[in-house]
Chain A
Amino acid sequence: MNENGSYKTLLKNDPEYRSYLLGTFSAQLVALPVESFGVGTERERTTFLVLSKDQVKKPFWPLIYLAAIRPELLGLTLGHAVLAMLALRPLVEKHFSSVEDFFRVGALPMFLCLVVTVLAHASACLFNDYQDHLNGTDRKSLSHGSRVIQKAWSRAVEVRRWAFVNAFFALLIGLYLLWGNWWMFVGLAVLTAAAIHFYARMTPFWNKWGAGDFWITLLFGPLLFFSVWFSILTQENFLVFSREMLVDGILISLPMGLLASWTLQVRQFQDIFKREEGSFRSLISRMNFDQAKFFLVAEGALFFFAQPVVFYMIWKDPGQSGVLAVGAALACAGLFILKNLASPLSSRMLKLNRLALSVHAGFLLLWIEALWVR
């Protein structure tokens, strides 16, 4: 093996193939897949760059773990969970003003809710990296996943192990929070698993009809919000719910779910040049560059202005709704960057991800501020 490593090509039906992908073929060597042909078919063939472990410079392991769990995306999960908690108080006050001891449920379940959210977030990111590595998606696009496997910072088998550990503790704490409310626990767990499964495995046909966008909206919107609320409200049998609260709950969670879906669409749009059939999980999969640009601008504007409208519908607070409307107008300025993109390979495409996450984070902070002031 020279200083640059050596190459090895394996076919899917080679006995060593899976062990090379998982990184279990040797204790001294690491194998980085550099090229795959016929991914997902019987004639799948991958070329690996084989390096000795000493050739790979790795950061300290907590930093690897941190990179793998994609902290930049925590706004979509942890941020939404915080928002759900803040939204709970005025909702309970609005519908059950006589309930004075609502906050007697204490800080522990709230804290545990946040922990579960982070664990579930980490588990989803790690499983996603592992799956992308096995099915070759990470070889098609350099913007997919955390790339800790591609940089040989971690073996695929270790990433999968960490994904299971995180999922196990998330389930354990979730079980504690919803102890006794078995139907609720099973219902939320099944719906969440279904949303993740259908999002990851949806066929291109259904994605063209927006199935991927639907599941993402559901997952980051109503499902996450109601999971947080049930986990808190069921403590000490404090379950208070009414049809009106359910409607308001859906109204609050839906704009954030839609915003999360828009954020992920923008991330996929970044890769529109390299689009492979089946690798896109949103409506973007049916559009060309110009159509996708128009769609994201129009949809973004609609979702941005949905935020102040929903806030006003629930709390009839013109002041805070106005603040959210100003935020929406500012976010629309960011849409000009999208609208003016000249090429699917321009350097501005690389900034879209940050732009979408910044817009999302901005709205998150405005919602938190608006609910806090209330």
Chain B
Amino acid sequence: MLSLKDLKIFEKDDFPKYLPKLNSLYDELFSAGKGFRSKLIFLIAKHLRLKDEEVRLLAQTIEFIHNASLLHDDLVDRSHLRRNKPAAWLKYSPEYAVLAGDYLLARVMVNLSRFGNLRLIQYTAEMISDLLEGEWIQDSLVQDWNVNLEQLDQVHDLKTASLFKWCLRAPFIAKENNDPHLHEILGQMGSLLGLLFQRGDDLLDFNIRNHEKKAVLGDLKSGYLNSFGAYLSRDFSAAEKVQLTQCESLEDVYRLVGGEERFLEAVSSFDRMNDQAIELYLHLNQSLGDVLSGEDLNVQGEFKPLARLLYYRSKSS
């Protein structure tokens, strides 16, 4: 049985040896990632008793797609850093970054077609198109300072949550369990995980629970109002919104909202709203008991801590 330690996303032979630059680009890209999504696949798959090669295929698929999206995303956003290293488009070239991303997506389809599960191929293709739609729409929201939380949630549902939904659903599709009830519940749980992950990530931009030491106010400075920004500014006047766009530091943001204390109150209120989403996630996880049986039910235990972990970025909290 495959262990989490043995789970390798790609082997040297997976990519053509005569393309050394491509190989070195992938080496750098994959070595820096946490591989959270592939670990999630592994945790689910072990309870569904999937074969090792199936687990590897699913884990590789999600990591390839995720990393392809990062290669493209960094170029679209003109981000200079990825995982504290120079972004691929900057280190190699924008052309190489695009081709490397495209190549990963092509490999996904090659690998999945070999596996031969048509439903899985179709669902994966749908997920990739959702991801791209989300990326496209998000780009059209740059400099839109009046966008609201509901609209951003819809973008994130395409861009971020589609990957989480896939992680939850694909192992069951690989096992040929296509019960519509089950997939509706898993889809909704994936949506909530994506939403909570994104909202947690957006808080890092305001230096809240920023254990990863991400750059502060990065989204705001690149012209993008993220979910917490939209929540914070929901009752702002037009003039206050303009001031928000001009904030250079967190101190400027504190001043705008009436002090650090007021800012932290807004964070608590945002947390309470997301606690409600976590409750809904836990309820849906509980309702998996109606559609799963036997050993498969053990996935509930794996799912349970995820929502809190992804939002608060810490198991203990």
User: A: which residues have CB within 8 A of B?
Assistant: 2, 4, 6-7, 9, 34-35, 37-38, 43, 45, 47, 49, 142, 273-274, 342-350
Report yes or no: A9 in contact with B148, Cβ–Cβ below 8 A.
no
List, in ascending order, chain B residues with CB within 8 A of A350's CB: 146, 148, 151
List, in ascending order, chain B residues with CB within 8 A of A49's CB: 280
Report yes or no: A9 in contact with B283, Cβ–Cβ below 8 A.
yes
5 further A-B pairs in the complex, CB-CB below 8 A; given A6-B283, A47-B280, A347-B146: A7-B279, A7-B280, A343-B141, A345-B140, A346-B147
With both chains docked as a complex, state the minimum distance between the C-beta of A106 and any C-beta of chain B, in angstroms.
50
Point out the residue from B148, B184, B276, B280 that lies within 8 Å of A37, measured CB to CB: B184
Point out the residue from A274, A347, A348 that lies within 8 Å of B154, measured CB to CB: A274
List, in ascending order, chain B residues with CB within 8 A of A47's CB: 280, 283-284, 287
- Judge whether B155 is part of the interface by a CB distance below 8 angstroms: yes
Contact with A along B131-154 (1 / 0, CB 8 A): 000000100110011111011001
Report yes or no: B148 in contact with A4, Cβ–Cβ below 8 A.
no
A43-B154 in contact given A35-B280, A345-B147, A347-B146 (Cβ < 8 Å): no
Point out the residue from A45, A273, A347 that lies within 8 Å of B148, measured CB to CB: A347
Report yes or no: B154 in contact with A45, Cβ–Cβ below 8 A.
no
Report yes or no: B184 in contact with A38, Cβ–Cβ below 8 A.
yes
Point out the residue from A7, A142, A342, A346 that lies within 8 Å of B150, measured CB to CB: A142
Query: Which chain B residues in 109-147 approach chain A with CB under 8 Å?
Result: 137, 140-141, 144-147
- Measured in the bound complex, the distance between the Cα atoms of B147 and A7 in whole Å is 29
Nearest residue, chain A, Cβ from B185: A37
- Measured in the bound complex, the distance between the Cα atoms of B283 and A47 in whole Å is 9
List, in ascending order, chain B residues with CB within 8 A of A343's CB: 137, 140-141, 144
Q: Can you show 30 pairs from A to B with CB atoms below 8 A apart? A: A2-B279, A4-B276, A6-B279, A6-B283, A7-B280, A9-B284, A9-B287, A37-B181, A37-B185, A37-B188, A38-B184, A43-B180, A43-B181, A45-B184, A47-B280, A142-B150, A343-B137, A343-B140, A343-B141, A345-B151, A345-B154, A345-B155, A346-B147, A346-B151, A347-B147, A347-B148, A348-B144, A348-B146, A350-B146, A350-B148
- Judge whether B73 is part of the interface by a CB distance below 8 angstroms: no
List, in ascending order, chain B residues with CB within 8 A of A346's CB: 140-141, 144, 147, 151
Report yes or no: B181 in contact with A345, Cβ–Cβ below 8 A.
no
- Judge whether B74 is part of the interface by a CB distance below 8 angstroms: no
Contact with A along B176-212 (1 / 0, CB 8 A): 0000110011001000000000000000000000000
- Residue count of chain B within 8 Å CB distance of chain A: 25
- Measured in the bound complex, the distance between the Cα atoms of B176 and A313 in whole Å is 68
Nearest residue, chain B, Cβ from A344: B137
User: B: which residues have CB within 8 A of A?
Assistant: 137, 140-141, 144-148, 150-151, 154-155, 180-181, 184-185, 188, 272, 275-276, 279-280, 283-284, 287
With both chains docked as a complex, state the minimum distance between the C-beta of A338 and any C-beta of chain B, in angstroms.
16
| SS of B interface (majority) | helix
Report yes or no: B283 in contact with A7, Cβ–Cβ below 8 A.
yes
Nearest residue, chain B, Cβ from A274: B154
List, in ascending order, chain A residues with CB within 8 A of B151's CB: 345-347, 349-350
With both chains docked as a complex, state the minimum distance between the C-beta of A12 and any C-beta of chain B, in angstroms.
12
- Measured in the bound complex, the distance between the Cα atoms of B272 and A62 in whole Å is 31
List, in ascending order, chain B residues with CB within 8 A of A6's CB: 279, 283
With both chains docked as a complex, state the minimum distance between the C-beta of A337 and any C-beta of chain B, in angstroms.
13
Report yes or no: B181 in contact with A45, Cβ–Cβ below 8 A.
yes
List, in ascending order, chain B residues with CB within 8 A of A274's CB: 154
With both chains docked as a complex, state the minimum distance between the C-beta of A30 and any C-beta of chain B, in angstroms.
16
Nearest residue, chain B, Cβ from A41: B180
- Measured in the bound complex, the distance between the Cα atoms of B179 and A45 in whole Å is 14
Report yes or no: A34 in contact with B280, Cβ–Cβ below 8 A.
yes
Report yes or no: B180 in contact with A38, Cβ–Cβ below 8 A.
yes
With both chains docked as a complex, state the minimum distance between the C-beta of A272 and any C-beta of chain B, in angstroms.
12
List, in ascending order, chain A residues with CB within 8 A of B287's CB: 9, 47
- Measured in the bound complex, the distance between the Cα atoms of B154 and A43 in whole Å is 25
- Measured in the bound complex, the distance between the Cα atoms of B284 and A35 in whole Å is 10
- Measured in the bound complex, the distance between the Cα atoms of B280 and A140 in whole Å is 17
With both chains docked as a complex, state the minimum distance between the C-beta of A339 and any C-beta of chain B, in angstroms.
15
- Measured in the bound complex, the distance between the Cα atoms of B225 and A346 in whole Å is 12
With both chains docked as a complex, state the minimum distance between the C-beta of A42 and any C-beta of chain B, in angstroms.
11
Report yes or no: B144 in contact with A347, Cβ–Cβ below 8 A.
yes
Report yes or no: B283 in contact with A273, Cβ–Cβ below 8 A.
no
List, in ascending order, chain A residues with CB within 8 A of B148's CB: 347, 350
- Measured in the bound complex, the distance between the Cα atoms of B183 and A38 in whole Å is 11
- Measured in the bound complex, the distance between the Cα atoms of B181 and A6 in whole Å is 21
With both chains docked as a complex, state the minimum distance between the C-beta of A39 and any C-beta of chain B, in angstroms.
11
- Measured in the bound complex, the distance between the Cα atoms of B147 and A62 in whole Å is 32
List, in ascending order, chain A residues with CB within 8 A of B140's CB: 342-343, 345-346
A-B residue pairs, 4 tightest by C-beta: A347-B146, A343-B140, A7-B283, A37-B184
With both chains docked as a complex, state the minimum distance between the C-beta of B314 and any C-beta of chain A, in angstroms.
21
Point out the residue from B137, B180, B185 that lies within 8 Å of A345, measured CB to CB: B137
Nearest residue, chain A, Cβ from B280: A7
Nearest residue, chain B, Cβ from A142: B150
Report yes or no: B154 in contact with A273, Cβ–Cβ below 8 A.
yes
- Measured in the bound complex, the distance between the Cα atoms of B61 and A340 in whole Å is 38
Indicate the member of A6, A9, A347 with the most B CB atoms within 10 Å.
A347
Nearest residue, chain A, Cβ from B188: A35
With both chains docked as a complex, state the minimum distance between the C-beta of B28 and any C-beta of chain A, in angstroms.
33
- Measured in the bound complex, the distance between the Cα atoms of B144 and A350 in whole Å is 12
List, in ascending order, chain B residues with CB within 8 A of A2's CB: 279
